[in-house]
């Protein structure tokens, strides 16, 4: 009887690893504080950072209340973090007040990167903010410690500055090595890669002049692919909106642009799924057009593989904005995933509560269900865990035979095969080197005979 159960479990685990359906969880949070969401990020502790373009009214001590551009920070349960909102960076004895938030992302170092358009330098006194004049001709990337909202550093975005050009940077994209790709929203702006470790110097110039209006960038793990959503048609007669794909051998080499993807989708938000080369992008966004061109569906969030350069065939990988909650018309503007890949947050540029929605997907495997029936077999927790970039996996098999150990990302894609051989009975160990993978949660699976055991490990770079 045990052999029958083992075979059944082995067959059932394959689809569980490969797919888990996204489900609408809630408006997040149910508060006016998250209106006009112009940027989203989730830190490694699960806190959600929501950037408001038009600001939020703040109560001052010793001065009148005022509306400030800010980033509101919420714990995973929807309660607001003690240090929220974050509205300025500290520079000596002064505060560099945020201008409108134009993008937020989580860096490879775990810090939060906030792009702002304009600034206001003010003096800090007894908790209040006084004086200062707005300057709309300068832009910054603020690097913030997610544990308390304090300033790590501030970088001024100075490339391609002119007297007439817009100085609204788009959402930056960060490689696993910490390089930052950034551009400006309006057409004819360059796309550059900056090196924060070298005083934010320009490491490479992807292009001197991108083609169209865009609010965001995304990269694959090593930065050899840069995705630049555009609102303009690719060519005369094409539908509005596509994603330009820039590719290179490395972040140090010349980039070339090929044929676009997602023509007609008009995406307004894009984000990489943790621990994978999968990106998600929205249908119908930047141009505020509620009707995407077929086959794209307005306000659907699509999963796209940067390895096969195609949409994932599994329909459960995609999900739709919930029009039954709070707002009836969505302008996709931002999205982010929790580090474990089990929660997705999507933001809409709407002036009202409910502009951020949370979606969740279930755990893809259940280790306990298998281990109860696999007598004499054991798959131990990897050590160390979390790890960077190497770890050791120990396992025990009761019977000699063909044995495999494979590592999967959270979308069920095989990223490494560590063992694929006839093994004697007993305890064994194998090393796993994840130097070429991005931070995130991974599954590792032991298959031997009719037994299959699965466990999770976390890569933190």
Helix (H, G, I), strand (E, B) or coil at 172: coil
- In this prediction the pTM is 0.74
73, 149 contact by CB (below 8 A): yes
Confidence of residue 149 (pLDDT cuts 50, 70, 90): very high
Q: What is the pLDDT of residues 245-285, one digit of tens each?
A: 999 999 999 999 988 888 888 888 999 998 788 899 998 64
Q: Tokens 């409108």 map to which residue?
A: 100
Reference 22, options 283, 334, 337, 332; nearest CA is 337
pLDDT at residue 418 in the model: 95
Q: What is the pLDDT of residues 291-343, one digit of tens each?
A: 445 578 778 899 998 888 888 878 888 998 887 655 555 678 889 999 888 89
Reference 224, options 254, 190, 247; nearest CA is 247
pLDDT at residue 349 in the model: 79
DSSP symbol at 198: G
Q: Supply 274's token pair.
A: 């943790």
Name the residue ranges covered by the structural domains of the chain.
Answer: 2-16+364-459, 22-361
Q: Within 13 A of 82's CA, how many CA atoms are on the CB side? A: 3
The fold of the 22-361 domain, in CATH, is Methylamine Dehydrogenase; Chain H (2.130.10)
CA distance 147 to 158: 29
DSSP symbol at 322: -
Reference 106, options 143, 70, 80; nearest CA is 143
CB-based contacts of 245, cutoff 8 Å, min separation 6: 225, 226, 227, 228, 257, 258, 259, 260, 261, 309
Question: Which of 234-248, 371-385, 401-415 bottoms out in mean pLDDT, i.e. has the lowest?
Answer: 371-385
Q: What is the pLDDT of residues 119-129, one digit of tens each?
A: 655 544 434 43
Q: pLDDT > 70: what percent of the chain?
A: 76
124, 108 contact by CB (below 8 A): no
Q: Supply 457's token pair.
A: 């490990």
CA distance 331 to 349: 5
Reference 215, options 111, 285, 272, 153; nearest CA is 285
The fold of the 2-16+364-459 domain, in CATH, is Immunoglobulin-like (2.60.40)
């Amino acid at each position: 009887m045990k052999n029958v159960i083992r075979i059944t479990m082995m067959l059932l685990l394959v689809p569980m690893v490969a797919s888990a359906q996204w489900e609408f969880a809630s408006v997040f949070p149910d508060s006016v504080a998250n209106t006009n969401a112009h940027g989203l990020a989730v830190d490694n502790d699960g806190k959600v950072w929501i950037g408001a373009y038009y600001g939020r009214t703040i109560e001052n001590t010793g001065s009148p209340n005022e509306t400030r551009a800010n980033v509101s920070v919420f714990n995973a349960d929807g309660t607001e973090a003690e240090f929220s909102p974050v509205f300025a960076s500290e520079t000596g004895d002064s505060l560099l007040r945020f201008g409108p938030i134009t993008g937020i992302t989580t860096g490879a170092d775990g810090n939060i990167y906030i792009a702002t358009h304009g600034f206001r330098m003010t003096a800090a006194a007894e908790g209040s903010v006084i004086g200062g004049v707005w300057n709309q001709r300068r832009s910054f990337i603020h690097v913030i410690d997610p544990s308390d909202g304090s300033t790590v550093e501030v970088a001024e975005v100075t490339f391609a500055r002119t007297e007439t050009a817009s100085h609204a940077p788009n959402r930056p994209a960060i490689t696993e090595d910490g390089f930052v790709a950034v551009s400006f929203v309006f057409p004819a702006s360059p796309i550059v890669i900056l090196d924060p470790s070298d005083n934010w110097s320009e490491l490479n110039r992807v292009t001197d002049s991108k083609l169209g209006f865009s609010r965001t960038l995304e990269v694959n793990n090593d930065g050899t692919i840069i995705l630049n959503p555009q609102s303009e048609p690719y060519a005369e007669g094409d539908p509005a909106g596509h994603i330009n794909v820039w590719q290179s051998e490395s972040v140090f080499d010349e980039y070339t642009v090929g044929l676009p993807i997602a023509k007609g989708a008009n995406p307004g938000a894009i984000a990489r799924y943790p621990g994978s080369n999968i990106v998600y992008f929205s249908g119908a966004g930047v141009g505020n057009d509620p009707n995407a061109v077929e086959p794209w569906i307005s306000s659907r969030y699509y999963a796209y593989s940067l390895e096969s350069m195609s949409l994932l065939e599994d329909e459960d990988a995609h999900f739709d904005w919930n029009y039954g909650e709070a707002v009836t018309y969505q302008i996709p503007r931002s999205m982010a995933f929790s580090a474990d890949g089990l929660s997705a947050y999507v933001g809409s540029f709407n002036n009202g509560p409910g502009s951020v929605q949370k979606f969740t997907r279930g755990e893809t495997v259940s280790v306990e269900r298998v281990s109860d029936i696999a007598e004499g077999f054991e798959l131990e927790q990897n050590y160390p865990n979390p790890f960077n970039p190497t770890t050791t996996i120990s396992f025990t098999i009761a019977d000699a035979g063909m044995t495999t150990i494979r590592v999967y990302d959270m979308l069920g894609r095989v990223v490494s095969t560590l063992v694929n051989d006839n093994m004697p009975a007993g305890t064994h160990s194998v090393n796993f080197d994840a130097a070429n993978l991005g931070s995130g949660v991974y599954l590792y699976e032991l298959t031997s005979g009719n037994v299959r055991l699965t466990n999770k490990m976390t890569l933190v770079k």
